[in-house]
Amino acid sequence: MKRIVKKHPLAIRWFHWLNFPILAVMIWSGILIYWANDVYKLGWNDKTILKIFPDSFNKALNIPFRLAEGMSLHFFFMWIFAINGLLYVLYLVFSKEWKLILPNKRSFKEAWIVLLHDLRIRKDLPVQKKYNAAQRLAYTGVIFMGFFMLVTGLAIYKPAQLYWLCAMLGGYQWARAEHFIITILFCLFFLVHIIQVILAGWNNFRGMVAGFEVIKGKDLAVAKETEAVEHPDNSQNKTN
């Protein structure tokens, strides 16, 4: 027999996996649009360390001269991104899942311990529920990033009608840069997310696919130990 525990509700799994193709199309079409005015770079004044994006990158992916195509894709899939995100947030609110994902008072302190643990510097981990402190910060952060993606996108989409929104973000070109920076942050999040999922292993991954996690031997032992303390007559079941 195996002991399983429910992890991610079906709705959350759908919201999660839908983001994958949606973001792929949004980032791809965003790159097609960015090419038409590819002014960002790493460097200072006249010195350029890295042009974003390098010509070789554009050439390899056949990006040049596809602005119209990029815009038509972007302005269709933006709706799917927005609706999926909105439904996800509504679901978090009404299912009370937000309690598991929003950082609490301890999260900011504990996130450091989690970070040190994940970097193999510390051994112990604070007690956690569904998400550890670092996950709470990261996943809440990415919800805010999605929100700012919509807000900055809207500001550069309708800078005249939403002049106040554009002004709040520091003006048209700043809003465009912010939209771009959030995209980079999304890509970095994705990278760390993939690494963490690989490191966490199959059982954790299955949680986002099938919705449940199997409580492993060691955890089971811990669970039984607690049980044993609470009900001493069951102590012969202790497995260790």
Partner 1 sequence: MEEKLVTAAQVRNKTLVSLFFLLLFIASSIVTWNWLQKQPKEKEALKPLRQALDANESIFSGMFSNYHLVKTYPKEMAAPKVRVNGNAGMSDDFDPSTWKLKLIKRPGDTVFISLDEIKKIAKTEIIFDFKCIEGWSQVSHWAGVRFSDFVKYYGLDAQAQLQFTGLETPDDEYYVGIDTKSMMHPQTLLCYEMNGAPLPLNQGFPLRLIIPVKYGVKSIKRIGSIYFSNSRPPDYWYERGYDYYCGL
Which listed residue (5, 60, 83, 90) binds partner 1 by CB under 8 A?
Answer: 5
User: Of the two residues 151 and 162, which places its CB atom closer to partner 1 in the complex?
Assistant: 162
- Please give the residues from 23 up to 82 whose contact with partner 1 meets the rule CB under 8 A: 25, 33-34, 36-37, 39, 67-69, 71-73, 75-76, 79
According to the binding rule CB under 8 A, does residue 98 interact with partner 1? Answer: no
According to the binding rule CB under 8 A, does residue 144 interact with partner 1? Answer: no
Which listed residue (104, 173, 234, 237) binds partner 1 by CB under 8 A?
Answer: 173
Which listed residue (215, 221, 225, 227) binds partner 1 by CB under 8 A?
Answer: 215
- Please give the residues from 99 up to 128 whose contact with partner 1 meets the rule CB under 8 A: none
According to the binding rule CB under 8 A, does residue 163 interact with partner 1? Answer: yes
CA 44 to chain centre: 30
Q: CA angle at residue 161 from 155 to 162, to 5 degrees? A: 35
Among candidate residues 236, 49, 230, 198, the one with its CA nearest the CA of residue 118 = 198
DSSP state of 237: G
Which listed residue (53, 139, 211, 227) binds partner 1 by CB under 8 A?
Answer: 211
Report the alpha-carbon distance of residue 81 to residue 63 in Å, rounded: 22
CA 77 to chain centre: 18
DSSP state of 62: T
Which listed residue (198, 209, 222, 229) binds partner 1 by CB under 8 A?
Answer: 209
DSSP state of 63: -
Q: Is residue 44 left, alpha or beta, with left meaning phi > 0 and alpha meaning psi from -120 to 50?
A: beta
According to the binding rule CB under 8 A, does residue 206 interact with partner 1? Answer: yes
According to the binding rule CB under 8 A, does residue 214 interact with partner 1? Answer: yes
SS3 42: strand
Q: Return the residue matching tokens 């947030």.
A: 89
The residues binding partner 1 (CB under 8 A) are 1-6, 17, 20-21, 25, 33-34, 36-37, 39, 67-69, 71-73, 75-76, 79, 129-130, 157-163, 166-167, 171-173, 176, 206, 209-212, 214-215
